[in-house]
Amino acid sequence: MSDQTSKGYLAIAVALGAMVSVAACGERTVPEPDAFGGVPLDAPASLPAVEFPEMDGTTFHLVNDTRGHVTLLFIGYTWCPDICPVHLANLASVLRDLPLEMSREVRTVFVTADPARDTPERLREWLGSLHRDFHGLRGTREEVNALERALGLPLSVVDPGTGADDYFVGHAGQVLAFDREGRARVAYPWGVRQRDWRRDLPRMVAGDWPPPPDRPDQDES
């Protein structure tokens, strides 16, 4: 019996040891503190000086109304079944938890790629449930494609689908982050997590952007 008992204790010791070592490995897999969750952008695409009708009836000028702020821009549509709501909900969740003096430095802009179905009411309802400070812009399909072209994003397309009200819209999956001068600096593709936003947003507000990928030695501005 005592032999089996000691075997039992040995088994526990091994299990505990394995758990501790696994936990230690876990600590090491956390990314380096200076890495960003998104992809640093090389091309200096800037927000174009265009206006879009906003969901509240006003107009939103992409340059004038974002000047001096960190801007996060996403092009999608509210009937999107999975990526758009989850991607934006995770961002919204982190923004809500940031100190106000930090979160008010950030403008989040959603541009619908599906103006036919995304009425101003629909945009207000959908974006309002995510974050009450999000801006919802609604232009024509041509204006959206022009914006995508200016930002170097793939052009969104409407997939006819099965019926007039039942179709999908193909669109870029990333959130673009612009610095206070309106230059695109980091793209956050689908799959970015709340912990990434939590780490990166304060640094964007502080102006601590990652260097462009091809010139890692360049001084940060």
Partner 1 sequence: MQWWCAAQGVPWAWRWQAYPGVWLFIALLLGVYRALRSRYPEVDRPGFRAWMWGLGTAVLWIALDWPVGALGAGYLASVHMVQYLLIALTAPPLLLLGLPRGLYWALDRGVSGRLLRLMSHPIPAIGFFVAVMAWTHWPPVVDTLMVTQAGSFFLDLIWLVSGLVFWWPVAAPAPDRTWLQEPGKVGYLIVATLVNTGVFAYLTFSPLPLYATYELAPPVTGLSTRDDQLLAGLLMKMGGAVVLWTAISILFFRWVRRSEGDTPGRGAVAGILVLLALGCGERTSGTVREAEEDSAGQPSAQVWEAVGPLEFAGAVVGEPVVPDRAALYVSLRNPGSESVRITSVHVEGSQSAHLHETRLENGLMTMHSLDVLEVPPGGVVDLRPGGLHVMLRELIRPLAPGDSLRVELVLDGEEAGRVLYARVVPLDEVTGGRHPER
Binding stretches for partner 1 (CB under 8 A): 4-5, 7-9, 11-12, 15-16, 18-19, 22-23, 26, 29, 81-82, 85-86, 89-90, 93-94, 97, 190-191, 193-195, 198
The smaller minimum CB distance to partner 1, of residues 25 and 220, is found at 25
The smaller minimum CB distance to partner 1, of residues 46 and 168, is found at 168
The smaller minimum CB distance to partner 1, of residues 67 and 131, is found at 131
Report d(CA 168, CA 166) in Å as an integer: 7
CB of 203 to partner 1, least distance (A): 16
Report d(CA 74, CA 88) in Å as an integer: 9
Q: How far is CA 68 from the centre of its chain?
A: 19
CB of 124 to partner 1, least distance (A): 17
Check: CB of residue 203 under 8 Å from CB of residue 186: no
Structure-token match 């039992």, residue found: 8
CB of 7 to partner 1, least distance (A): 6
CB of 200 to partner 1, least distance (A): 13
The smaller minimum CB distance to partner 1, of residues 10 and 49, is found at 10
Check: CB of residue 70 under 8 Å from CB of residue 106: yes
Q: How far is CA 95 from the centre of its chain?
A: 11
Report d(CA 24, CA 31) in Å as an integer: 14
